[in-house]
Chain A
């Protein structure tokens, strides 16, 4: 379980998060939705322990995120793998640091995502790099998977491939998956929980199915409504 209690974070004069309370339940797929600059990436970085809250606390399984880094598989928005690595080198590197690395799953996903382990990260397309990053995350049996904007700047076909890989790679009940994106369409059907965030504040947090039933609308429509009407904490 991941918990945010009254978390605030500023970057200079910019308020990235303002008294945020979130609870990501174990074994669920959570969609963290909001426009650019809403604070989604800051939430991801706080869970990973590469940012620290100015106020409040973040707990991953009851401990500080930094102490629990081995439990978290993180896909940042930026390309974070060395451009001179090929996929085999990247996979070998990751396997040394994470005992939960699943070599069999890696091979399986490699073929599913139509990647080759000889591909050099600096010489492949943006879509292939996005898939390579996903491969590094989904090849682990980590209890927490964090995907920060996995579809950003990716063409439609590759987005679909990534979404299918997510369905294939995610271990239901065993893993908690948090996906931050402003492009809801691809994952609307996947998420169990939704958190809508804007300007560092949680606008809405609910069970996805319950929300759809209550409002009789899709998540995309609900998001538009929430961000148009402002704060509607549930």
Chain B
């Protein structure tokens, strides 16, 4: 009887998920403590300052999974569990895919927690905010903008995870200079889209004159980022399956 691929994936996912518990907890506790602290120190309109820790915490919730991505893969070598991983009858796609999903879970959990906690604090502080906003602007459009920006952030973080995987695996190909190669490849992969983007992003965004078109551009940008992320992931899988040795 063949082993279920879904069960294997689930098993790999839950094995790595425990690595992210501490980070999600840190983000949640910091969010609650800092927002409560700002709440206690302010009153009236000045409570809008809650947005400052909220934005900073969003950054933290985005940064921690990137750090985790280095720990999650690097740890396999550090603990010699790479011997177990590489001898399992599974593909590189399943191995790296499960790790990617774990990191994405950490990002979603962290950002959603910060978003929910700060939104609750703001809506309690300013109960008239939603009716006021709906009078002044198109709420549906605002929600569409938020969703498209969040989707773009997810694509960007997936790209960063793929950069992290590819750079680490490139580093493992050169054991004597593993750390240096990882750093150089990671930085190159970070710089590359910046060098490439002015050309194509300008061409794509140029015709966009209204907000709806700008949202459309964000979605196109999200799609392109995801394609690049998947290309890097495919390269990582290829290295994992064909080049990594112990």
Interface residue ranges, A against B (CB under 8 Å):
45, 48-52, 69-70, 72, 74, 76, 78-84, 93, 96-99
- Residues of A contacting B80 with CB < 8 Å? 76, 78-80
Whether B88 lies near A80 (C-beta < 8 A) is: no
**Minimum CB distance partner of A80 in chain B:** B83
B178: shortest Cβ distance to chain A, in Å?
14
- Residues of A contacting B15 with CB < 8 Å? 82, 93
Whether A99 lies near B83 (C-beta < 8 A) is: no
B239: shortest Cβ distance to chain A, in Å?
13
Whether B8 lies near A97 (C-beta < 8 A) is: yes
Ordered by A's residue number, 11 sampled pairs between the chains whose C-beta atoms are within 8 Å are A52-B245, A69-B87, A70-B89, A79-B79, A80-B84, A82-B15, A83-B79, A93-B15, A96-B3, A96-B8, A99-B1
Whether B86 lies near A50 (C-beta < 8 A) is: yes
Most buried by B among A52, A84, A93, A98: A93
Number of interface residues of B (CB under 8 A): 22
**Minimum CB distance partner of A122 in chain B:** B79
A23: shortest Cβ distance to chain B, in Å?
22
* Complex partner residue of B90 from A48, A76, A97, CB under 8 angstroms: A97
Whether A98 lies near B79 (C-beta < 8 A) is: no
* Complex partner residue of A50 from B7, B79, B81, B87, CB under 8 angstroms: B87
B188: shortest Cβ distance to chain A, in Å?
25
4 closest A-B pairs (Cβ-Cβ)? A80-B83, A70-B89, A78-B80, A69-B89
Whether A50 lies near B246 (C-beta < 8 A) is: yes
* Complex partner residue of B88 from A45, A69, A81, CB under 8 angstroms: A69
Tell me whether A78 and B89 are in contact in the complex, defined as CB-CB below 8 angstroms, given that A96-B11, A99-B2 are known contacts. no
- Residues of B contacting A51 with CB < 8 Å? 245-246
- Residues of A contacting B88 with CB < 8 Å? 69, 97
Q: A49-B86, A78-B80 given. 11 additional CB < 8 A pairs?
A: A51-B245, A52-B245, A70-B3, A70-B89, A76-B83, A79-B80, A80-B81, A80-B84, A81-B84, A96-B7, A96-B11
**Minimum CB distance partner of A98 in chain B:** B3
Alpha-carbon distance between A69 and B91 when the two chains are bound, in angstroms: 11
- Residues of A contacting B86 with CB < 8 Å? 48-50
**Minimum CB distance partner of B245 in chain A:** A51
Whether B3 lies near A50 (C-beta < 8 A) is: no
B1: shortest Cβ distance to chain A, in Å?
5
Whether B81 lies near A74 (C-beta < 8 A) is: no
Alpha-carbon distance between A99 and B2 when the two chains are bound, in angstroms: 6
- Residues of B contacting A99 with CB < 8 Å? 1-3
Whether B245 lies near A50 (C-beta < 8 A) is: yes
- Residues of B contacting A50 with CB < 8 Å? 83, 86-87, 245-246
A29: shortest Cβ distance to chain B, in Å?
21
Tell me whether A45 and B89 are in contact in the complex, defined as CB-CB below 8 angstroms, given that A93-B15, A97-B8 are known contacts. no
**Minimum CB distance partner of A70 in chain B:** B89
- Residues of B contacting A76 with CB < 8 Å? 80, 83, 87
- Residues of A contacting B245 with CB < 8 Å? 45, 50-52
Alpha-carbon distance between A49 and B81 when the two chains are bound, in angstroms: 16
- Residues of A contacting B11 with CB < 8 Å? 93, 96-97
A19: shortest Cβ distance to chain B, in Å?
19
Alpha-carbon distance between A93 and B8 when the two chains are bound, in angstroms: 9
**Minimum CB distance partner of B18 in chain A:** A84
Whether B87 lies near A48 (C-beta < 8 A) is: yes
- Residues of A contacting B89 with CB < 8 Å? 69-70, 97-98
B138: shortest Cβ distance to chain A, in Å?
50
Question: In B11-49, which residues have CB < 8 Å from any A CB?
Answer: 11, 15, 18
Most buried by B among A49, A81, A97: A97
**Minimum CB distance partner of A72 in chain B:** B87
Alpha-carbon distance between A49 and B87 when the two chains are bound, in angstroms: 7
Alpha-carbon distance between A78 and B78 when the two chains are bound, in angstroms: 11
Most buried by B among A48, A52, A72, A78: A78
- Residues of B contacting A84 with CB < 8 Å? 18
